[in-house]
Amino acid sequence: MIPIRDTIPSRNYPIVNNILIVTNIFFYFVEVGQGANFNNFIYQYGVVPARYSSTYFNSFFPHNIFTLFSFMFLHGGFWHLLGNMWSLYIFGDNIEDNIGHFRYLFFYLLCGMFSGLSHVLLNLNSDIPTIGASGAIAGVMGAYFILYPRSKILTLIPILFIPYFIEIPAFFFLGFWLLLQIINAAGSSGSMAGIAWWAHIGGFIMGIIILRWFVSIPASHFAGKIRKATEKKKSHHLQVIHPKEDEYDHNLYGTIIITTYEGLMGTKKLVNIPRGFNKRILRVTIPQGIKQGALLRLKGLGKHSATDKKGDLLLKVEIQDSFSND
């Protein structure tokens, strides 16, 4: 299963989330550039539990507290980096949108540091370095689990090399992910585990615990100005539409959401239309100056009639400039 995106549009551009993604990519190239010094670099800036429990080990790698911060910006390989950044891209924008840019940054870092601490406490004698943003991102996922349980995750499931798209409720998607972490953590042998499962679990739990505190912090006047400046003028490029049908009508009916700006200037959208196993993605052109309630006709995407002639899919244009966070 490959998550593509969630169905909750953010109202503001996720500038902090994007900066975090770029920062992780930057330090990945710093790692790659270490060459023969790579292993020493990872031991210096990764979290090594034995550094906190062994005086001998500590004498070689003195960066104690700082590594609880630095480890979350390092990755063990390209696919490790890609998987983490994709998850951060999907879930991070909504959390930043909800709690604000600056609070989100501190939230992310706290979750990451606590995830590293969780790994240390449960693997005190391990001399294997742990790196990666997974724990911090797990905290973001924990917050998403609480804030948007009714959201859906558009997921790609390849079946016989054919892309099949399905919407999975966020509560189930993230709950199942957490269950897998717990099962793997219970079955792993601490220092011999290839993945820091307890760091994932610790980050997820931390995200849930501190979320309420971050939500309750009042936004400053400056933060309010930043939020105003980063408001989005466009809706999601990819939208999932569930067509409605009438027993006596061969046409299907759906709704496509755009902003006032998009209605004025015109735009193009990708539309996913799940009907049985016929999962398809279409490109829809929104003409300039389109009005609220206008109908866009996609020919031949309706139901078959008695004469085997297919009806059309009619998309009603709905103009929104603010979005629900349910």
Flag whether pLDDT at 324 surpasses 60: no
Mean pLDDT in residue range 236-242: 76
pLDDT in tens, 54-81: 766 666 666 578 889 999 999 989 999 9
Mean pLDDT in residue range 190-214: 83
Tell me the pLDDT band of 139, cut-offs 50, 70 and 90: very high
Among the ranges given (97-101, 126-130, 224-228, 261-265), the one the predictor scored with the smallest mean pLDDT: 224-228
DSSP symbol at 297: E
Cα dihedral 223, 224, 227, 228, rounded to 10, equals -140
Topology of the domain comprising 2-229:
Rhomboid-like fold (1.20.1540)
Q: What percent of the chain has pLDDT over 90?
A: 40
The strand pair at 267-275 and 238-240 is best described as parallel
Domain segments of the chain as ranges: 2-229, 238-319
Q: Which residues pair with 165 in a beta bridge?
A: 156
Tell me the pLDDT band of 242, cut-offs 50, 70 and 90: confident
Q: What's the confidence (pLDDT) of residue 15? A: 94
Give the DSSP H or E segment for 88: helix 78-99
Q: What's the confidence (pLDDT) of residue 203? A: 94
Higher pLDDT, 189 or 116: 116
Return the HEC string of 206-236: HHHHHHHHHHHCCCCHHHHHHHHHCECCCCC
The strand pair at 313-319 and 252-258 is best described as parallel
Q: Which CATH number fits domain 238-319: 3.30.470.20, 2.60.260.20, 2.60.40.10, 3.40.640.10?
A: 2.60.260.20
pTM above 0.85, yes or no: no
Higher pLDDT, 90 or 305: 90
Higher pLDDT, 40 or 144: 144
177 C-beta neighbours (distance < 10 Å), count? 16
Q: What's the confidence (pLDDT) of residue 191? A: 44
Measured distance CA(218)–CA(282) in Å, rounded: 42
Flag whether pLDDT at 304 surpasses 80: no
Q: Which residues pair with 274 in a beta bridge?
A: 279
Flag whether pLDDT at 157 surpasses 90: no
Mean pLDDT in residue range 98-123: 92
Q: What angle do CA 72, 99, 240 make, to 5 degrees?
A: 90
Distance of CA 264 to the CA centre of its chain: 30
E strand segments, the chain:
2-6, 152-159, 162-169, 238-240, 244-245, 252-258, 267-275, 278-286, 295-298, 313-319
Order of strands across the sheet that contains 252-258: 244-245, 252-258, 313-319, 295-298
Tell me the pLDDT band of 323, cut-offs 50, 70 and 90: very low
Greatest alpha-carbon span in the chain: 83
Q: State the first-to-last Cα distance of the chain, in angstroms, to the nearest integer.
A: 24
HSE (side-chain half, CA atoms, 13 Å) at 202: 21
Flag whether pLDDT at 302 surpasses 50: yes
Tell me the pLDDT band of 52, cut-offs 50, 70 and 90: confident
DSSP symbol at 11: S
CB of 200 closer than 8 Å to CB of 115: yes
